[in-house]
């Protein structure tokens, strides 16, 4: 999933929370999953900005960490 897909997933899960009856056992799971997707969306946006505008080495380090097959990840 990319950043926008994670953001849409978070919004979708929050919409599900709104549809659940009060006290539903699913609400905490939906909220936790929404938070994870929102965090991943923010991380993706941050990494995109670092890669586009930040120091070249920092962007490369993040890229290597996230995509180890591209030649890094240690």
- pLDDT tens per residue across all 74 residues of the chain: 899 999 999 999 999 999 999 999 999 999 999 999 999 999 999 888 877 777 666 667 777 777 777 554 44
Question: pLDDT at position 61, please?
Answer: 75
* Cα–Cα distance for residue pair 29/5, rounded to 1 Å: 19
Q: Residue 8 corresponds to which tokens in the numbers above?
A: 């849409």
Find the helix or strand (DSSP H, E) in which 46 lies.
Answer: helix 27-53
How far is residue 3 from each of residues 6, 30, 36, 38, measured CA to CA in Å? Answer: 5, 19, 12, 9
């Amino acid at each position: 999933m990319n950043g926008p897909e994670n953001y849409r997933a978070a919004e979708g899960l929050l919409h599900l929370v709104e549809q659940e009856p009060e006290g539903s056992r699913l609400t905490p799971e939906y909220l936790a999953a929404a938070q994870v997707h929102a965090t991943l969306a923010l991380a993706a946006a941050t990494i995109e900005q670092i890669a586009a505008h930040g120091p070249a080495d920092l962007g490369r380090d993040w890229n290597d960490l996230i995509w180890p097959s591209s030649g890094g990840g240690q």
